[in-house]
Amino acid sequence: MAMPIVDEATVEELDLPGRHLRWVVTKESTGAQYCTMAVIRVAPGSRVRPAHSHPNGEEIIYIINGHGRVLIDGEVEQVKAGCAVLFPKGKIHMLENLSDEEMKVACFFAPPAGLENYAFFEDVDFPPDAS
């Protein structure tokens, strides 16, 4: 069985639209059966693209540093370091870094998720008057 401790720096980083992502906690890396956890880095002024949802589960993000905004099912809210945000099952969401520093975010998924079970929505974006 895999060890239940993972050093984020040892995990391959994926270069995805609007963010760099590392799947830190997975069944393969830790033996976790009921959740996964990723860390993303979002450059200043960048948006995690495309908007997406998780049809089979929930995601909770925790902002470690930086500030910005989230779009959840058409609603926009401000977020900053120390905020936890629930993206409910099936709700379309996005994250944008409005700070002048890199935003770092821990993302928790239950049940376990991976990019293969995201639903993507290329035509969804933040409303033009929401900032």
User: Per residue in 7-45, pLDDT tens?
Assistant: 999 999 999 999 999 999 999 999 999 999 999 999 999
In our burial notation (b when 16+ CB lie closer than 10 A, e otherwise), range 60-92 reads ebbbeebbbbbbbeeeeeebeeeeebebeeebb
% residues pLDDT > 70 (the chain) = 97
φ, ψ dihedrals at 8, nearest 5°: -50, -40
3-state helix, strand, coil in the chain (%, to 5): 10, 45, 45
DSSP assignment, residue 13?
Answer: P
